[in-house]
A and B are shown apart, each in its own frame.
Chain A
Amino acid sequence: MSRSLNRLALGLAVLMVALLVQLTRIQVFQADELNAQPGNQRTLLTEYARERGPILVDRAPIAQSEETDGSLRYLRRYPAGEEFVSATGYYSIVFGATGLERTENAILSGQDPRLFVDRMQQLFAGREVKGGAVTTTLDANAQLAAWEGLAGKKGSVVAIEPATGRILAQVQSPSFDPNQLSSHNSKAINAYYAELEADPDKPLLNRPIAKTNPPGSTFKVVTAAAALTSGRFTPDSVLPGPATYTLPGTNVELPNWTGTECGPNGEVTLAEALAISCNTAFAWLGNELGDDALRDQAQQFGFDESFETPQRVATSRFPEDPDASQTAQAAIGQFDVRATTLQMAMVAAAVGNRGVTMRPGIVDQTSAPDLTPLETFQPAEFAEALTEEHAAELAAMMVGVVSSGTGSSARIPGVAVAGKTGTAQTSRDRPSIAWFIAFAPAVNPEVAVAVAVEDAGTNEVSGNQLAGPIAREVMEAVLAG
């Protein structure tokens, strides 16, 4: 009996070992996968059981957690409502998180490995485990100016500190109330979300960074930069500027928006062509430079590159292989050129920053719950788009746009403002997009801004009329502060 008893013992031991192996599989090796299963409420419940850290502008919260007596203990609140949605996103039990709520989740939820020591201290001290804080680079005044400027309009504003790439304002319009998506009532959340989705104005779209538009005449700054970089042109170079330009290889006539010649005898200087936004001169210039030169210059400003601020920014594009006619159109920001509002702000900022393109960022600092800093924003160069000399020349040309050209609405008394207007058609029959990019002061600028207003008229003046004043108010807000 002793032998069979031993064998039985072995058999039972095998069963126990099988259990141990299975436990190790599900509790260690498959644990991450199981925790990430959609419909696993535990992950959500844990997140909501912990006080999520705030998102701050200066020292004021634009997103914070409040305690409730519900089964989900903490409720996410956005005191400023719709204004900061483009940056914060929302934090929803139904739709997950977007914006900084998503990209900075590890810090905000307290799960970041760098917060491990804090977690342990809080645990042993018997205090509630809290998440860390995220301070944005946003400037409350600039943000408010942009938000108020876009009120009732469809569009977006991005402002950047040229020397560092810090994002000072990032506004979408229309926006939505993130409080309603971050409630604990999934029925109400679903209803509100359905309403937003059905809205033809697409309030859920993060226009400043997720939507690309044809940049229109604001792209002439890039073309002008390429011209200066080529060494073949100076601001005083004389270009042909007839009333219409026949696109090469076609018999299509590209007109000026005024319908007239850009200068006496159909000739105009490069500086003057930029100031009055002469289409024919820039179309000609584009063909002279060629698509490779334009693309290289555009890429130095950040086109064809994906940025994370850490919010993911849609990639702005310069067409890959345009023919001569398409290159001429691309040079004035039409055809397949597409840019985010952030991208055009980066163009203005790089010109102002002595030709250096900085990587954009919106997180100024992450900190532990006790506010000791974890990581602080470090300015990072992306590329040298222009030499310092060429940048100064281009800046001076852009000052001309505002002082004596199409960008008059952005004038600020006592401050030299550099800018460029634009009106882009997305398609022939659709209303166009009014653009304005600018920086101020023209030397050592404190702020660069890009404004895109959709559903503008088809006239080039709309950039100046609709977008220019918003750009001016945002710049004034920064300069005043």
Chain B
Amino acid sequence: MSAPVVPGRQVEPGRSDQPTRRGVELALLVLVWGVGSLAMVLASEGAAGEVVPEVWRVVAISGVVLLGLHLVVRWLAPYADPIMLPTAAALNLLGIAMIGRLDLAAALRAQANGTDPPPSDALDQVLWLAVGAIAAALVLLVVRDHRMLRRYTYLWGLTGLVLLLLPMVPGLGLTIRGANLWIQVGPFTFQPAELAKVVLTIFFASYLVQTREQLALVRHKVLGLGVPRGRDLGPILVVWAVALLIMAAQTDLGTAVMLFGLFVGMLYVATGRRSWIVLGGLLTVVGGLLAYALFGHVQVRVRVWLDPFAYATEAGYQIVQSLYGFAFGGMMGAGWGRGYPQLVPFAENDFIFSAIGEELGLVGSVAVVVLFAVLIQRALRTAHASRDAFGALLVTGYAIILGLQVFVVLGGVTRLIPHTGLTTPFMSAGGSSLLANWIILALLLRVSDHARRPDPVIVRPDDATTEVVARP
């Protein structure tokens, strides 16, 4: 990964032969913005028969925000992967287009009922995109080298834990639709679990870099698998217990699964020991059975998953409507604004993917999965290329989060697995989720910039005959 060194030429950091590929990023962003804007126009035309003024505001704001973020990346992370930002932007704009389309459906319904139209969620969402982009810029500005994050290992861990437990604080927590995930401060509601996953990943990466050699130690082997030492079992059991606690106290299955999966996955990558996967799998099964036996809400979800049509008018209503939506979309989709995604309750949150499937068809739903896959692949690629174990683990963690979250929520709305409430990264309406995901994106950009940045090489211009050895 060292820059080619040409005797007699001075190579400076940031101005080497290693291409920054910022031009590619800009071109892709322009394309994404164009397609996203077109989607919003079509969605409005399809749902309301006209292009409502909100569309132009959203198009303008998103254009400015994305261009701004691109310029920040040029300035602060010039060697960052050029695909990540446009991919995240594509998902975000697609989400906003669909949220705007659902806004119009709600407005039409309000008109029919003679009530006031509800406020525009799309406008909120694009403002949250702006907030997320500003947060990402701040992360890039403050975290000039991701390795500085290692300094506060246990502070991150504590912060993550506090964030996870915040909704349980009396007077602060807020229960919406049966799940105690929110906190309320003044007029603002926030889902701290979204931020918790960001900081806990930092903590896990930092912790595992310190301890991975110990955790990889094996005393004896069973069935060809090395069994970890008893005293090393502590961390995984602690995380498992926290996950169970979240499931019990907050009825939040999704976050529990994601948290535990994240830790086990990172543990495996850090140590290279398959026994951790096996152990994690066993604990998942035990935890799952325990949860099924103890918690009514888990039982309901499983029953609905097995036969949603038996509960089509009650607990299974959402998933059944979601399946109808996907089926209605079929191969090519009903077209923007021409389906009935508003029949799925809370389509703008957990079920935004069924709205995409309904109006854009298999073509659109596959495209979304592919966009997520691309983002995950770019993160894993960055992990490979990373020059330090911490950076590699950090981006691996974010790849796992993205992968698991996409699988849990998309698998849930398509009835591949029981449905558990999680937001669709970059797409669902909601500020906390968007903010957390843009911060993750900033950290991915930061690590990839570090990985691709050429080494600073100093060559004395007048010493052409001296053999220059690049720093290893």
* A28: Cβ under 8 A from any B Cβ: yes
Q: Complex Cα distance A18/B414, Å?
A: 11
| In the complex, residue of chain A having the shortest beta-carbon distance to the beta carbon of B266 | A8
| In the complex, residue of chain A having the shortest beta-carbon distance to the beta carbon of B332 | A27
CB-CB contacts below 8 Å: B251-274 with A: 265, 268-272
Inside 8 A of A1's CB, which chain B residues have their CB? 269-270, 272, 389, 392
Interface centre among B271, B327, B362 (most CB of A within 10 A): B327
* A374: Cβ under 8 A from any B Cβ: no
Q: Complex Cα distance A459/B392, Å?
A: 101
Q: How far is the CB of B301 from chain A (nearest CB, A)?
A: 17
B416 near A42 with CB under 8 A, answer no
A35 near B328 with CB under 8 A, answer yes
* B173: Cβ under 8 A from any A Cβ: no
Asked, given contacts A1-B389, A16-B372, whether A23 binds B366 with beta carbons under 8 Å apart, the answer is: yes
| In the complex, residue of chain A having the shortest beta-carbon distance to the beta carbon of B399 | A12
B361 near A27 with CB under 8 A, answer yes
CB-CB contacts below 8 Å: A47-75 with B: 69-71
Q: Mark A1-31, 1 if CB is under 8 A from B, else 0.
A: 1111101110111011011101110111011
Inside 8 A of B265's CB, which chain A residues have their CB? 8, 11
* B340: Cβ under 8 A from any A Cβ: yes
* A41: Cβ under 8 A from any B Cβ: yes
Q: How far is the CB of B49 from chain A (nearest CB, A)?
A: 10
* A120: Cβ under 8 A from any B Cβ: no
B384 near A34 with CB under 8 A, answer no
Q: How far is the CB of A27 from chain B (nearest CB, A)?
A: 4
* B410: Cβ under 8 A from any A Cβ: yes
Out of B340, B384, B406, B416, name the residue touching A5 (CB < 8 Å).
B384
* B336: Cβ under 8 A from any A Cβ: no
* B403: Cβ under 8 A from any A Cβ: yes
B326 near A16 with CB under 8 A, answer no
Q: Complex Cα distance A203/B94, Å?
A: 54
B403 near A45 with CB under 8 A, answer no
Q: Complex Cα distance A1/B216, Å?
A: 11
Asked, given contacts A5-B384, A8-B268, whether A27 binds B357 with beta carbons under 8 Å apart, the answer is: yes
Q: Complex Cα distance A43/B392, Å?
A: 50
B403 near A20 with CB under 8 A, answer no
Out of B269, B313, B327, B373, name the residue touching A31 (CB < 8 Å).
B327
Q: Complex Cα distance A149/B383, Å?
A: 88
* A250: Cβ under 8 A from any B Cβ: no
Asked, given contacts A1-B392, A34-B324, A37-B309, whether A27 binds B411 with beta carbons under 8 Å apart, the answer is: no
* A427: Cβ under 8 A from any B Cβ: no
Inside 8 A of B165's CB, which chain A residues have their CB? none
A18 near B331 with CB under 8 A, answer no
* B87: Cβ under 8 A from any A Cβ: no
A26 near B414 with CB under 8 A, answer yes
* A40: Cβ under 8 A from any B Cβ: yes
Q: Complex Cα distance A35/B407, Å?
A: 25
Q: Complex Cα distance A8/B407, Å?
A: 14
* A231: Cβ under 8 A from any B Cβ: no
B340 near A45 with CB under 8 A, answer yes
* B92: Cβ under 8 A from any A Cβ: no
Asked, given contacts A9-B380, A27-B365, A42-B328, whether A22 binds B416 with beta carbons under 8 Å apart, the answer is: yes
Out of A4, A9, A27, name the residue touching B362 (CB < 8 Å).
A27
Asked, given contacts A8-B265, A26-B415, A34-B323, whether A16 binds B272 with beta carbons under 8 Å apart, the answer is: no
* A113: Cβ under 8 A from any B Cβ: no
Out of A16, A26, A34, name the residue touching B373 (CB < 8 Å).
A16
A22 near B415 with CB under 8 A, answer yes
Out of B324, B339, B343, B414, name the residue touching A19 (CB < 8 Å).
B414
Q: Complex Cα distance A40/B327, Å?
A: 10
A12 near B403 with CB under 8 A, answer yes
Asked, given contacts A16-B373, A18-B416, whether A26 binds B384 with beta carbons under 8 Å apart, the answer is: no
A19 near B327 with CB under 8 A, answer no
Q: Complex Cα distance A113/B313, Å?
A: 34
A18 near B327 with CB under 8 A, answer no
* B112: Cβ under 8 A from any A Cβ: yes
Inside 8 A of A35's CB, which chain B residues have their CB? 324, 327-328
Q: Complex Cα distance A11/B277, Å?
A: 11
Inside 8 A of B339's CB, which chain A residues have their CB? 42
* A39: Cβ under 8 A from any B Cβ: yes
Q: Complex Cα distance A294/B376, Å?
A: 80
Q: How far is the CB of B178 from chain A (nearest CB, A)?
A: 24
Interface centre among A2, A33, A42, A69 (most CB of B within 10 A): A42
Inside 8 A of A2's CB, which chain B residues have their CB? 384
* B325: Cβ under 8 A from any A Cβ: yes
Q: Mark B18-36, 1 if CB is under 8 A from A, else 0.
A: 0000000000000000000
* B100: Cβ under 8 A from any A Cβ: no
B112 near A71 with CB under 8 A, answer yes
Asked, given contacts A23-B414, A37-B324, whether A31 binds B330 with beta carbons under 8 Å apart, the answer is: yes
Q: Complex Cα distance A26/B361, Å?
A: 11
Inside 8 A of A39's CB, which chain B residues have their CB? 312-313
| In the complex, residue of chain A having the shortest beta-carbon distance to the beta carbon of B408 | A15
| 11 further A-B pairs in the complex, CB-CB below 8 A; given A19-B414, A27-B327, A69-B112 | A1-B389, A4-B270, A8-B265, A12-B400, A16-B403, A16-B406, A23-B362, A27-B331, A28-B362, A42-B324, A42-B343
Enumerate the 4 nearest inter-chain pairs by beta-carbon distance, A residue then B residue, closest first. A34-B327, A12-B403, A31-B327, A22-B416
A sample of 16 inter-chain contacts (CB < 8 A) reads A1-B269, A8-B396, A9-B380, A15-B404, A16-B372, A16-B406, A18-B407, A19-B407, A19-B411, A23-B414, A26-B414, A28-B362, A31-B326, A31-B328, A31-B330, A34-B327
